[in-house]
Amino acid sequence: MKNTIEFNDSNFDKEVIESDIPVLVDFWAEWCGPCKIIGPVVEEIAGEYSGKVKVGKVDVDHNPNTAMKFGIRSIPSLLVFDRGSVAEQVVGAVPKKNITDVLDRVLNSK
């Protein structure tokens, strides 16, 4: 089962910026090798953090405005949004623990 949500230029504000819980956003594209590595990891995290963190993906090919707005210049880029702004950012296909550490930090800061 798919645990991640598709974010796009039109639903981004509603789903991410206005979210009550932190949101992990994976900026990716079909042609990006490292994105394919991180994809399943993000999916796993979505399952494990269900209810605590909303997890979704932005395809930069089809949603250039959102990518540009947050200054994405490298993918995969993982941004953690908390109360409408970027709390943390991870660039590149990093091991799962790097991502969960960042999420735990945001969750524990509450």
Partner 1 sequence: MISKVIIIGSGPAGLTAALYAGRANLNPIVFEGDQPGGQLTITTDVENYPGFPEGVLGPELMDLFRKQAVRFGAECYFKYVSKVEIHEKPFKVWVGDKQYETDTIIISTGASARLLGLESENKLMGHGVSTCATCDGFFYKEKHVIIVGGGDSAMEEAIFLTKFAKRVSVIHRRDELRASKIMQERVFNNPKIDIVWNAVMVDIEGTQVDGVKAVILRDTLSLETRKFACDGVFLAIGHNPNTSVFRGMLEMDKQGYIIIKNGSTKTSVEGVFAAGDVADHVYRQAITAAGSGCMAAIDVEHYLQS
Residues with a catalytic annotation lie at: 32, 35
Report the distance separating Cα 26 and Cα 106, nearest Å.
16
Distance of closest approach, residue 63 Cβ to partner 1, in angstroms: 13
Helices (H), the chain: 12, 33-48, 64-69, 96-108
What is the nearest approach in angstroms of partner 1 to the Cβ of residue 106?
18
Rounded CA-CA distance 52/95 in Å is: 21
- Decide whether 75 or 103 has the Cβ nearer to partner 1: 75
Shortest separation between residue 57's beta carbon and partner 1, angstroms: 16
Q: Which is nearer to partner 1, 72 or 103 (CB)?
A: 72
Contacts with partner 1 by CB under 8 A lie at 29, 31-34, 36-37, 41, 60-61, 67, 71-75, 77, 91-97
Which DSSP symbol is given to 76? S
Backbone dihedral angles phi then psi of residue 56, each to the nearest 5 degrees: -155, 175
